[in-house]
Structure 1
């Protein structure tokens, strides 16, 4: 690595850490927006959140979890009943199929408990790294990676921390810049910021407290 690249990498890291500090200050109580009581319920809610708002998911899951509270109940359910309960989240047939398949594997291969290893989680239907990172971080306190949803993807590009579109490559870029203990801190607060300020179509750069550190800010 050349001296110029070393300096650029160091500068990027310093800027990322300063942004992280500010995000913690701006959103001190930020946490996962999905409502759940158990790791299985968080897994199901996260699968449901694909192409759907957390607000909509939280309207659906109380009845779903009352009817099917654990992996065994979901594994043995009539899939059409799951479909009916989650219909408003979109892509409901595929989501219902994946949720049931994931829970059946949890029952048969993991004793009815959500596994706590990334490699094991990725064997479950409907689970990619985004879902696995959310479950590991919020259900078990394990920072295995950086959750990259649409907000994190958009803001990471705007902030100049990744030039990629692929979530896995964005995640790798971010993992190099941030301390492991703050990987989920970064994601959850960046999601809050993406919803409140740095919106997709109309970023509010004039009121953004990160604008002086953002190469995309329009001031």
Structure 2
């Protein structure tokens, strides 16, 4: 678990684990629980990201909510990168701002991929008979409704994304102070960075695709 603190760790509730018999899989409620935790964790991280952007830009803390609540996610990422280049001559702090924006972008794309494409499966063997899953993601390629990819979504993957969002929020809480201090003339130590997650859309291999030229798990 990502932990930037020296003397304690951020509290994170353990994932519930039922007593499964051999051959049993987690029921749909566990998938829905992981999805809900992930959405809540991301929403909290997104709010903290707006505070990072606002503080780097020099917006008074009491005005950040009023000014940035309706700002789009991509606009905020671009704004943070622009502020870093405009205000910093220190490559370390500029690179940190760029990392913060990239970390948010990767997690945002993964959150959107899961939330907008996930479908629960009642028949756990419908996707991969040798590797039962409880959910899948149905993704249509841009500008082509006739090219559909189906991705397996495991419970471990959902929980890992939720944990990634939690760690991102923790990092944003820790990094906003040093960044704001630097741009105000201070030199607080930057916290360690969490791992940058892969983008699910480019790292997952679909198990089925209507594109005959695309490699899938069925081909292996």
- The TM tier, using the shorter chain, reads under 0.3
Query: Normalising by the residue count of structure 1, what TM-score does the alignment of the two structures yield?
Result: 0.25
Q: Which has the higher contact order (CA 8 A, sep 6+)?
A: 2
TM-score normalised by structure 2 residue count: 0.24
Larger Rg: 2
Question: Per residue, is there more strand in 1 or in 2?
Answer: 2
